[in-house]
Homo-oligomer: A and B are copies of this chain.
Amino acid sequence: MASRREVAELAGVSEATVSRVLNGVGPIREETRRRVLEASERLGYVPSALARSFARSKSGNLGVVLPYVPKAHLFSAYFFSEMLSGIGSKARDNGLDLLVMFQTAGEVMNYTDLFRRQKIDACIILGARHDQDELAAMQQLDREGHPFCVMNQHFASESFMEVDADHVEGSKLAIRHLTDQGYRKIAFLNGPDSYSNSQDRLEGVRLGLHEAGMELDPGLLLEGNYSRRSGIEAAASIANRLYEIDAVFAANDRMAIGVMHGLRERGVRTQDFPAFVGYDDSDAGEMAVPALSSVRVPFFEMGELAVSKLMQGTNGIADARGQKGYHSTVTFDSLRTLLPTELIIRASSNRRIEE
């Protein structure tokens, strides 16, 4: 492995000049530049990212915190693989590497230490907990001015950088779709109220019903925990009340599919199913029988957006990259950005498609 010194010698310049050429900084005579590049190429010189990071006190890494999932499937893999892809894609554009970390069962991750240890320059939190410790950890991050972005979750009364999808609107779309087709007795299987996510959906359902001149019937409001199993459990109560329920809107696809399974287990035939609309538009929804209508969430784009937001702003990391210049085309005025959702209609809720 050739060293920078050898390159300098071969090119007949100083080591400093080699650096300048390779980093594209400062004025360089074209002839010099060419010679350095040539020598560098010939010797197969590769600058050490480690030394560079050290000298610049910037790791060049973007931390990504993932929820604790292993073997639990609490969150759908789809959800996080899409987000991660979006993040990775944009990170690459900005010359950042991804440092992925998993939350562990009991303990809160010490976010600030990650910054202090200089392992990361910025951080995206996908799986924030809903407890006090977690909040405190994030508040500390904020206080110390470390750039971070929370995804898919809203902390009211905090001014964190956040990226989310518009779940109020998404839920409204789902309800509107159902009422448009004449469904009136719509059960809503929501997730735990502790998630801002769930609260948004509930609000959307309210608005959607209101549009159609209806009110939310508390008796038709069920709560699961976003798992398929909780959908199956909800099916127990739904199966007995099919005379007063003609549609089910679930806060995610897994629960919707769980309800379908639960109903089948209890002998309800497919043709007697209520209409179904799920949420997330996951792979599983598409594969369900009947194919599940669902609110599509732009996970990939949300990932991209989070990185873009991090790259700018007061405490952004815009100068993270060394080489080519980075130019952001969009600016985000507010701390919280919501991306639009979209309703995908399939057989499960479409009277014309249903057989």
Contact = CB atoms under 8 A, between A and B. Distances in A.
Interface of A: 1, 46-51, 53-54, 57, 59, 61, 64, 69-71, 73, 76-78, 80-82, 84-86, 88-89, 92, 97-102, 104, 113, 116-119, 228, 257, 260-261, 264, 283-284, 286-289, 300
Nearest to A117: B49
A283 B77 contact: yes
Given A116-B1, A119-B49, A257 B88 contact: no
A300 B70 contact: yes
Contacts of A286: 228
Nearest to A110: B46
A3 B287 CA distance: 56
A73 B82 CA distance: 9
A283 B252 CA distance: 15
Contacts of A71: 85, 300
B102 A100 contact: no
B117 A89 contact: no
A211 to B, nearest CB: 32
Please indicate which of the listed interface residues A86, A100, A288 has the most CB atoms of chain B within 10 Å of its own CB: A100
Copies of this chain present in the complex amount to 2
B54 A51 contact: yes
14 contacts: A1-B116, A46-B113, A48-B117, A49-B117, A50-B57, A70-B89, A73-B283, A76-B283, A77-B77, A77-B283, A89-B102, A100-B100, A261-B287, A289-B289
Contact of A117 (B46, B57, B102): B46
Nearest to A85: B70
A116 B287 CA distance: 44
Nearest to A285: B287
A223 B117 CA distance: 51
Contacts of A287: 228, 257, 261, 284, 287-288
B113 A102 contact: no
Contacts of A119: 49-50, 97
Contacts of A81: 69, 77, 80-81
B69 A59 contact: no
B101 A85 contact: no
Contact of A77 (B78, B86, B257): B78
A346 to B, nearest CB: 12
